[in-house]
């Protein structure tokens, strides 16, 4: 490994981590919900195949906009409310 490659390794790690987080947040936004009411695709989201698929899509040479890798489970205007804590 050359000194230039050694110097760029932390940058590549940072870029890869940032892209992985963007993927995770896109998936979370699409797939979060109450499993009593919707079918959250936990098996797909936690599978090694899905992780490999998403990892291969990362290009460390450029930042990307990510969309969820699973279907949107709720409408964009869904509102969530919590019951107040009983006293």
Catalytic residues: 78
Q: Smallest Cα–Cα separation from 54: which of 9, 12, 20, 82?
A: 20
C-alpha span between 31 and 54 (Å, rounded): 15
- The two tokens of residue 46 are 């936690």
């Amino acid at each position: 490994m050359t000194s230039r490659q050694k110097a760029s390794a932390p940058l590549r790690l940072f870029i890869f981590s940032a892209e992985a987080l963007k993927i995770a947040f896109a998936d979370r936004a699409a797939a979060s919900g109450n499993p009593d009411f919707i079918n959250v695709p936990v098996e797909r989201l936690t599978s090694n195949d899905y992780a490999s698929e998403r990892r291969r899509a990362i290009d460390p040479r450029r930042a990307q906009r990510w969309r969820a890798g699973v279907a949107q489970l709720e409408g964009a205007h869904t509102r969530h409310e919590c019951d107040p804590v009983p006293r």
